[in-house]
Structure 1
Amino acid sequence: MFYEDLSEYDYQDEDAFTDGESGVYALWYRPAYRRLSIGWLEAGRPYPTGAVPAAFVEKLKAVQKVQWMNVCLGQHECDLCPEKEAPEGNGEVRIPGEPGIAYAAPFLITHYVTAHGYRPPQVFIDAVLAVDLDAWAAARWPGVPFPWVPDDAERLLE
């Protein structure tokens, strides 16, 4: 699936978080924030390349260890890799930007950066670097590692 960087994300109407520890609990809601696409790459379409700060890559990897967003049953293979070596992903990442903006990236974004030299827009790099990882990693269900979950989000508790 391809989206231009910083274009409106419209793949799913709702955002859904799954509890990373149990894999059972979930919450979902229709976002009040605007979602902008980042890193939805596809073979045959050009994408920006270039160096990124090592701290960005490390922080993005750490975020992906604590945030389980829009996890799907199916898998998406990286179609930029040779078929036998292609890693798979099945979820997304949400990174808060300026007020009212969240960046929506596929879970394969770290792979795209490290294996294919993809360079996300600077606003995304800055937003990832601004994440308070300690607060996100400390979040325990029913809290989730994202700051803009509305109080009226639907929750699956059992």
Structure 2
Amino acid sequence: MDEDSFEDRETNFYGLTYRPAYARLNVGWLEAGRLYPTGPVPEAFVEKLKAVQAVQWMNVCRGLHACDLCPPEEAPKGNGEVRIPGAPEIAYAAPFLVTHYITAHGYRPPQVFINAVLAVDLAAWTAARWPQVPFPWVPEDAERMEE
């Protein structure tokens, strides 16, 4: 998508959309039949990623995507993305199922993504309330939707 959008996690009635000025690097978009790196990750990383996902609602879709690495009757579903700021002008774009891929399927994201998640100021992101969103690079001219 050319644009990124955030929804207010508390009401789902507010949102904002903008064309990002940063490069989006994809992380964790796994698919059955395609190889992916595996290995251990720090527990602190997993916990922080879960906490970020609890406060950030990014590119939420109406439909759901099931993990196709799991048996269909056990497959969790996701419907959005997470954005993690990286180096200047770079943000990592991961599916909401990324934590599942890590914990259930042993996926090991790139170290730069792990470091970027660990660097998130979770207190600031958790404290963000509309019209602020939990991501630092939203431009001033973002289009805001209110009730």
Choose which of 149, 155, 158 in structure 1 pairs with 2:138.
Answer: 149
Partner of 1:118: helix, strand, or coil? coil
Q: Which string of whole-angstrom CA distances, capped at 9 and with x for unpartnered residues, describes residues 134-156 of structure 1?
A: 00000000000000000000000
The CA deviation at 1:121 is 0.1
User: RMSD across aligned C-alpha pairs, in angstroms?
Assistant: 0.3
Tell me, in whole angstroms, the C-alpha distance in 2 between the residues paired with 1:28 and 1:54: 33
Relative contact order higher in (CA < 8 Å, ≥ 6 apart): 2
The answer for the alignment partner of 1:60 in structure 2 is 49
The runs of 5 or more residues in structure 1 that have no matched partner are 1-11
Distance 1:142 1:67 in 2: 13
Instruction: Count how many residue pairs are aligned between Structure 1 and Structure 2.
Output: 147
Could you report, residue by residue, the CA deviation over 1:56-92 in whole angstroms, capped at 9, with x for unpaired residues?
0000000000000000000000000001000000000
**Is it true that 1:73 corresponds to 2:65 in the alignment?**
no
Structure 1 match to 2:21: 32
Query: Residue 68 of structure 1 aligns to which amino acid in structure 2?
Result: W
Question: Structure 1 segments of 4 or more deviating over 6 A?
Answer: none
| Equivalent residues in 2 for 1:73-152, closer than 5 Å | 73-152=62-141
Give the match for residue 38 of structure 2.
49
List per-residue Cα deviations over 1:76-115 (Å, max 9, x = no partner).
Answer: 0000000100000000000000010000000000000000
Unaligned runs of 5+ in 2: none
Q: 1:72 aligns to what SS in structure 2? A: coil
TM-score of the superposition, structure 1-length normalised?
A: 0.93
